[in-house]
Amino acid sequence: MAAILARAGATAAASGSLPKSTGRRHRNAVIVAAGTATGQAVPQEGALERPAWSGETPLSRLVGALIAFKPLYSLMKLASREVIIRTAEKSNIPWREMTKKVLESDVYEVFERIRDPNLVYPDYYLSPFHAYDDGNLSWLAAAEAEPATMSIAKRAISEAKSIEEANQIVRGSWLNAIEEHHLKYSGNCEINDILDIGCSVGVSTRYLAEKFPSAQAVGLDLSPYFLAVAAQKEEKLSRQNPIRWVHANGESTGLPSDSFDLVSLAYVCHECPARAITGLVKEAFRVLRPGGTIALTDNSPKSKVLQELSPVLFTLMKSTEPFLDEYYMLDLDETMRQVGFVNVCSILTDPRHRTVTATVPY
């Protein structure tokens, strides 16, 4: 399979069928972002608008055809899972220990308190992804979410000597981008209320709460399993303003309009079809106050690292991410402008991820 994909990629490059630049692009262009402040190498853009293995390219269609073949897809799913766990454990992330600790805890009691039994799940959320047949609606997915999140940072900063160092760079760069944007464009509006949409097991929510300790943070997610893990962990922490957890759809939160100063979506959009991403952006605009900031951090289509992934890795990744092509094809900056946001800024905050920030006008 790898040989077939490698030949297809080489053929696409030779024939000129890879995506062409549509705007001002420079090979290996330097993005002013995280690296300068951390002493790490500054993240770089690749030569393309998006990876050759995404969208409607011949290579992408070939990968899609392979994934659509069910016996092969089942093998890919297992292989992807093994790669993720093995990579994490090589980085000293105690994946199996952390998973076991959650599954053997009292998290099930928290689940009953936090779940909204009347919530209707959107159709896309019921699709298998991340190598789980039930997607995020399962205890295994919830128990493995934190070690998986930790491995994101280590993959992004492979040269980091520890998970802690990698997290400090990845999360620090993301939080700095949010703070800098808000200070520049909010008109002195303080961050008093934070909404973290798609908060998963609360990792990003806790980072936001620690960065802005005087603010009241709300973590919102469609998965009651993830929220139960987040809430159980939060109950054991001592915090000036405890995080509130809400089981709801990020496209229709039910929260009051003009009630937040910051809305964050961290590693959410690549898991959603384009229509859902647009819905999330619209809902963020509704619940933000004038001068409020939206911040979306996720895979960057322009990342040099992602554009140069090996055929095996990008095929395994696409096999567990059914909406990845839609995410890469969507012009996120323009979507935010059409919804009404201004001051849209997109930067590489680490070699794999971008942070897109924007403001609700007064």
pLDDT of residue 285: 98
Between CA 72 and CA 50 the distance in angstroms is 26
pLDDT tens per residue across span 197-216: 999 999 999 999 999 999 99
Residue 137's contacts (CB-CB under 8 Å, 6 or more residues apart) are 121, 125, 126, 223, 225
What is the token pair recorded at 289? 């106050």
On the 0-12 / 13-18 / 19+ scale of CB atoms within 10 A, 166 is: buried
pLDDT tens per residue across span 4-41: 344 444 444 444 433 333 333 333 323 344 454 445 67
What is the token pair recorded at 210? 């620690």
Start-to-end Cα distance in the chain: 54
| pTM for the structure as a whole | 0.88
Regions of the chain with pLDDT less than 70: 1-40
Residue closest to 269 by CA, chosen among 300, 303, 296:
296
pLDDT of residue 40: 60
H or E element that contains 6: helix 2-15
* Complete domains list, the chain, with CATH: 46-361 (3.40.50.150)
Q: Residue holding tokens 């939060």?
A: 234
pLDDT of residue 39: 54
Between CA 251 and CA 231 the distance in angstroms is 22
pLDDT of residue 6: 44
On the 0-12 / 13-18 / 19+ scale of CB atoms within 10 A, 200 is: buried
Neighbour-count burial for 254-268, b at 16+ CB within 10 Å, e otherwise:
ebeeeebbbbbbbbb
Dihedral sign, CA of 272, 224, 141, 174?
Answer: positive
In single-letter form, the type of residue at position 8 comes to: A
DSSP 244-256: EEEESBTTB--PP
In single-letter form, the type of residue at position 49 comes to: E
Q: Taking a C-beta distance cutoff of 8 angstroms, is the pair 157, 351 a contact?
A: yes
pLDDT of residue 188: 85
DSSP state of 43: P
Between CA 45 and CA 282 the distance in angstroms is 28
